[in-house]
Amino acid sequence: MELHKNGIKDLLDEKVVQYNTPSFIETDPVQIPHMYSVREDIEISGFLAATISWGNRTSILKNVKQMMKLMGNSPFDFVMNHKEQHLAKMDGFVHRTFNSTDLITFIEALKYIYEDRDGLETIFTKYKTADSTQPAIHHFKKEFFSFAHLKRTEKHLPDPFSGSAAKRMNMYLRWMVRQDNKGVDFGIWKDISPAILSCPLDTHSGRIARKLGLLTRKQNDSKAVNELDGTLRKFDPSDPAKYDYALFGLAVYDKF
């Protein structure tokens, strides 16, 4: 299929312009890191928001805001300086299958990441390759769980090397890496090129991608992510993940 000749690229570019705007934030989990100005607060609140970004978006936002409140609305300070009694406040927190035990594990892991591994950005930058962030997601999970933890909590971080589409982590990387001054993505991680980002793939974006002939694989898995990457990078080699806005917008807002 000659992608550029059938108007699909023009349609997607038009929808990126339409949806990559501050109004997008109003109903999206990316609003959570926009509550903060300190770099580490943006990183940590964004990471936790992305982690539980599945299900009803109203419920996601409600629960992430509760999570931030439990952390005194200062996530980095809480991660680095919390005491045992502070963690007891997490008891009863739940978002679908992510519960207070998982949250406490994530808080302890984040402290380890910032104390011993020089922060979230450092790990992803270290393990990215010339053309992909998927190996970085794989190695990040290994680093994140490299201390004593309950096995059940591991399911809340994806691994592309095990076949996962890693939608939420690809979304988080889009937030941190893309910088187009449109007021949505932050672009605070400068050593990872937007050119190697993968488009977050879920039920919505997958359905539209298949309907437009951008994706043939039926499962939403790591192989489908790689296939979609190959297509979207032909449209914009320097910023393929921007098409997440178009695919999501067409599915959720335009009911395409």
- Three-state SS for the chain is CCHHHCCHHHHHHHHHHHHCCHHHHHHCHHHCHHHCCCHHHHHHHHHHHHHCCCCCHHHHHHHHHHHHHHCCCCHHHHHHHCCHHHHHHHCCCEECCEEHHHHHHHHHHHHHHHHHCCCHHHHHHHHCCCCCCHHHHHHHHHHHCCCCCCHHHHHHCCCHHHCCCCHHHHHHHHHHHCCCCCCCCCCCCCCCCHHHCCCCCCHHHHHHHHHCCCCCCCCCCHHHHHHHHHHHHHHCCCCHHHHHHHHHHHHHCCCC
Residue 5 has pLDDT above 80, yes or no: no
| The predicted structure's pLDDT at residue 1 | 42
Q: How confident is the model at residue 2 (pLDDT cuts 50, 70, 90)?
A: very low
- pLDDT value for 150: 85
The pLDDT value recorded for residue 4 is: 56
Summary mean pLDDT of the chain: 95
Model pTM score: 0.95
Q: Is 97's pLDDT higher than 60?
A: yes
Cα–Cα distance for residue pair 113/47, rounded to 1 Å: 12
What pLDDT does residue 6 have? 64
Q: Which residue has the higher pLDDT, 229 or 2?
A: 229
Query: What pLDDT digit, counting tens, does each position of 143-180 carry?
Result: 999 988 888 999 999 999 999 999 999 999 999 999 98
Per-residue pLDDT, 186? 98
User: pLDDT class for 17, splitting at 50, 70, 90?
Assistant: very high
Residue 95 has pLDDT above 70, yes or no: yes
Q: Mean pLDDT over residues 120-134, rounded?
A: 98
Domain ranges (residues) in the chain = 3-252
Band (111; pLDDT cuts 50, 70, 90): very high
Dump pLDDT digits (tens) for 191-205. 999 999 999 999 999
Q: How far apart are CA 90 and CA 104, in angstroms?
A: 7
| Per-residue pLDDT reduced to its tens digit, 205-247 | 999 999 999 999 999 999 999 999 999 999 999 999 999 999 9
Q: How far from 174 is each of 113, 184, 193, CA to CA, in Å? A: 20, 10, 10
